[in-house]
Amino acid sequence: MTIFEDAVLEVITSLERGEVVTYGEVADQAGFPGAARAVGMVLRNCDGEVPWWRVVGAGGLIRAPGKERQADLLRSEGILVVDGKVVGVRNR
């Protein structure tokens, strides 16, 4: 794994149940501002141990492939999802 991947995964695995952040926020917190798209690439290769579903696009938009699965996982954590968008996000 690269330093970038390690930093991204550290941020994502530290997210608590019900906490949602954007790809850009993950990039910033990982120390790589402006690398939101690269965060998405890291998440594509994550397994079930990494709470990838807690990361959404700017404005709360669900952008991942399998949008309904991500929406279902977020709802299971008490997050309100309406029309493919997270409502009332509890960010860091």
Token pair recorded at residue 38? 């690269």
pLDDT at 16: 94
Higher local confidence (pLDDT), 88 or 57: 57
pTM: 0.90
Tell me what the mean pLDDT of segment 68-85 comes to: 94
H or E segment and range at residue 32: none
**pLDDT tens readout for residues 25-72:** 999 999 999 999 999 999 988 877 899 999 999 889 998 778 999 999
Q: Please say if the pLDDT value at position 92 is more than 70.
A: no
The answer to whether 78 and 18 are in contact (CB under 8 A) is yes
CATH number of 3-87: 1.10.10.10
The position carrying tokens 């493919």 is: 84
